[in-house]
């Protein structure tokens, strides 16, 4: 293994610095080379400045304009999206309000329909009761009429039977009108007592 001494390391660093400095590192002895280096330095500086100006005016401005236009477009899209979002929220709130109104209206219609149905049901029940009463009255009248007809038939049958019986018993001619009057009085007295 070879170890370098401190002097060797310092000497290597000195040579490296001299190479990097070029003619400046030779104690200025070579002026011709120095002028060439300065001329090259100025040319490089002017070239760099020209490249910078070309970039600045021909590339940088269009790029910044393009970026600014893109930023403006993005800002516009964001603003439109924000506006659309606000419109959507307003529309949603409006729809919610309309839905609530519609639900209230439906609830009111249902309640009204129930009330109408209950009223109609009560009306139908009332009409049915009235119809039943009317039919019962009609039936009572019919029964009374039928009873009266049957009573008249029975009365006529009794009169005829009594007349025939009286005719046979008396075997004489009886005045039919007087006899009917007498029988009717007897029957009326019997029905008044029987009631």
- For the stretch 31-66, pLDDT in tens is 666 677 777 888 888 989 988 888 888 888 788 888
Per-residue CA distances from 111 to 79, 98, 108, 121 (Å): 47, 20, 5, 15
Given pLDDT bands bounded at 50, 70 and 90, which one contains residue 20?
A: low
Best-predicted range by mean pLDDT (56-65, 125-134, 179-188): 125-134
Counting every residue written for the chain, the total comes to 195
State yes or no: pLDDT of 194 exceeds 60.
Answer: no
For the record, the structure tokens of 185 come out as 């009085």
Please give the residue range of the domain that contains residue 30: 8-194
For the record, the structure tokens of 83 come out as 């506006």
* Number of domains comprising the chain: 1
- Residue 2 lies inside a defined structural domain of this protein: no
For the segment 167-194, the average pLDDT, to the nearest whole number, is 67
State yes or no: pLDDT of 71 exceeds 90.
Answer: yes
C-beta separation of 24 from 34 below 8 A: yes
For the record, the structure tokens of 23 come out as 């003619």
d(CA 189, CA 195): 10
- Residue 172 lies inside a defined structural domain of this protein: yes
C-beta separation of 155 from 187 below 8 A: yes
- Residue 3 lies inside a defined structural domain of this protein: no
- Classify burial at 166, counting beta carbons within 10 Å of its beta carbon; exposed 0-12, middle 13-18, buried 19 or more: middle
SS3 47: helix
Question: How much is the pLDDT for 160?
Answer: 78
d(CA 83, CA 88): 8
- Residue 126 lies inside a defined structural domain of this protein: yes
């Amino acid at each position: 293994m070879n170890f370098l001494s401190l002097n060797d390391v310092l000497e290597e660093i000195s040579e490296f610095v001299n190479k990097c400095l070029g003619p400046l590192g030779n104690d200025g002895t070579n002026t011709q080379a120095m002028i060439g280096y300065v001329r090259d330095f100025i040319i490089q500086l002017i070239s760099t400045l020209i490249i910078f100006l070309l970039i600045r005016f021909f590339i940088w401005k269009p790029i910044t304009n393009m970026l600014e236009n893109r930023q403006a477009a993005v800002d516009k899209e964001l603003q439109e999206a924000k506006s659309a979002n606000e419109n959507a929220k307003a529309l949603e709130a409006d729809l919610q309000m309309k839905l609530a109104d519609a639900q209230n209206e439906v609830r009111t219609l249902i309640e009204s329909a129930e009330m109408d149905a209950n009223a109609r049901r009560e009306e139908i029940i009332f009409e049915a009761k009235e119809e039943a009463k009317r039919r019962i009255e009609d039936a009572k009248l019919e029964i009374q009429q039928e009873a009266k007809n049957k009573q008249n038939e029975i009365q006529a049958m009794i009169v005829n039977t009594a007349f025939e019986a009286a005719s046979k018993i008396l075997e004489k001619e009886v005045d039919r009108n007087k006899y009917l009057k007498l029988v009717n009085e007897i029957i009326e007295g019997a029905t008044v007592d029987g009631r």
